[in-house]
Chain A
């Protein structure tokens, strides 16, 4: 009997799709990450306000920690830029031929903005803010 066609998660991850496949995976992860953490933040803030519950305060402490903020800024910025790239490719399919260049451009915009964010955050933390 032939084997099932099903492709396991790890089997899929093992496929060497390279940069573009990674961008797609990050797009999904960052999208999901934003939904989960921002809704958690909103819910936790509500519970903190209404009843000062400990778990809600705990979640908001994590949320407001500089490390977590770095992650969230990464997710928002990456998701936005990658989304823009895909919208451009969808509107002008001829550009799909130059997708490698477009991915470079995307990182070229991403790196300075993200570095600046990290820089400002470190400055704040150093200043005890």
Chain B
């Protein structure tokens, strides 16, 4: 089958403004959108720029807007999105070139929530065991690959880049609800800020965009409630 692609183009060295380029390529229904981009780059226009690494939905490099919603190009099949495609960069981060955006502001927000395990001060003498139920509590949010699809689908983030965004909250949730972690209070304090969890207006674009099917809005809601009630349940 033939697939028609309209792709967002911007070359900072030669273009004043972005424009769209059209390509038609031959594809199988089971091809992924990433395969089409690879084909275009290899055979039609070598200057097309996008990020990808694993090509299997693990590294989180190729989040982009495909027909108006954030998706990983390596996880979306042609048969699921149709034969007329519009491919654009994710929103709310500066576009550096074509489909490549500057992810630095995104990772700065990520770093701001202490996204790592903080153990007890004294060195434990043996392993710190955790019950399967306690592990289950935060299982959903361990699956994040930091692709940025959620944060850049969020109207609150579009409106104000200072909002930490759903991805950072998901990664805070991962440790806030970990029974062994010691930095819960600090993290809740960081997120109880005017640019913290309360910027979330339950719009659900993040949950829909997440390629790992994480219940992103639920994670944000649980952190909101933990802040409001000062309890983790």
Question: Would A2 and B205 be within 8 Å (CB), given that A14-B68, A90-B224, A93-B221 are in contact?
Answer: no
Cβ of A15 and Cβ of B205 under 8 Å apart?
Answer: yes
> When each residue 1-32 of chain A gets 1 if its CB lies under 8 Å from chain B and 0 otherwise, what string results?
11111010001101111101100100000000
Asked if A21 contacts B158 (CB within 8 A), the reply is no
Q: Which residues of A contact B6 (CB under 8 A)?
A: none
Asked if A3 and B18 sit within 8 Å, CB to CB, the answer is yes
| Chain A: CB-nearest residue to B15 | A3
The interface residues of chain A, by DSSP majority, are classed as helix
Q: What 0/1 readout, one digit per residue, does chain A (98-121) give for beta carbons within 8 Å of chain B? A: 010000000000000000000000
A15-B153, A17-B203, A20-B203 known; A1+B12 contact, CB < 8 A: yes
Q: How large is the interface on B (under 10, 10 to 19, 20 to 34, 35 or more residues)?
A: 20 to 34
| In the complex, per-residue mask of B136-177: 1 if CB is within 8 Å of any chain A CB, else 0 | 000000000000000001010011010000000000000000
A86 to nearest B CB, angstroms? 6
Chain A hits for B10, CB < 8 A: 3
* B56-82 interface code vs A (CB 8 A; 1 in, 0 out): 000000000101110000000000000
Report the separation of the CA atoms of residues A15 and B89 in the bound assembly, to the nearest whole angstrom: 12
| Residue numbers in B under 8 Å from A90 (CB-CB) | 202, 221, 224-225
Q: Which of B26-34, B92-100, B111-119 lies at the interface?
A: B92-100
B186 contacts partner chain A, Cβ-Cβ < 8 Å: no
- A16 touching B68, Cβ below 8 Å: yes
Q: How far is the CB of A125 from chain B (nearest CB, A)?
A: 37
Say which residue of A3, A86, A94, A96 sits within 8 Å of B94 (CB atoms).
Answer: A3
How long is the Cα–Cα vector from A97 to B220 in the complex, in angstroms? 12
Q: Name the residue on A nearest B215 (C-beta).
A: A97
Interface size class of A (residues with CB under 8 A): 20 to 34
| A2 and B67 within 8 A (CB) | no
Q: Is the CB of A15 within 8 A of B91?
A: yes
State the Cβ distance, B2 to closest chain A Cβ, in Å. 23
Compute how far the CA of A86 lies from the CA of B24 in the bound complex, rounded to whole angstroms.
Answer: 44
- Assess the B94–A93 pair: CB atoms within 8 A: no
Task: Choose one: A4, A17, A94; the contact of B153 (CB below 8 Å).
Answer: A17
Tell me the A residues contacting B by CB distance below 8 Å.
Answer: 1-5, 7, 11-12, 14-18, 20-21, 24, 86, 89-91, 93-94, 96-97, 99
Interface, chain B (partner A; CB < 8 A):
10, 12, 18, 65, 67-69, 91-96, 102, 105, 153, 155, 158-159, 161, 201-205, 208, 215, 217-218, 221-222, 224-225
Extra contacts besides A20-B204, A89-B221 (18): CB < 8 Å = A2-B12, A2-B95, A2-B102, A5-B105, A5-B161, A7-B92, A11-B91, A12-B158, A15-B65, A16-B67, A17-B203, A18-B208, A20-B202, A21-B203, A24-B155, A90-B225, A93-B221, A99-B202
> Lowest 3 A-B CB distances belong to which pairs?
A93-B221, A20-B204, A7-B158
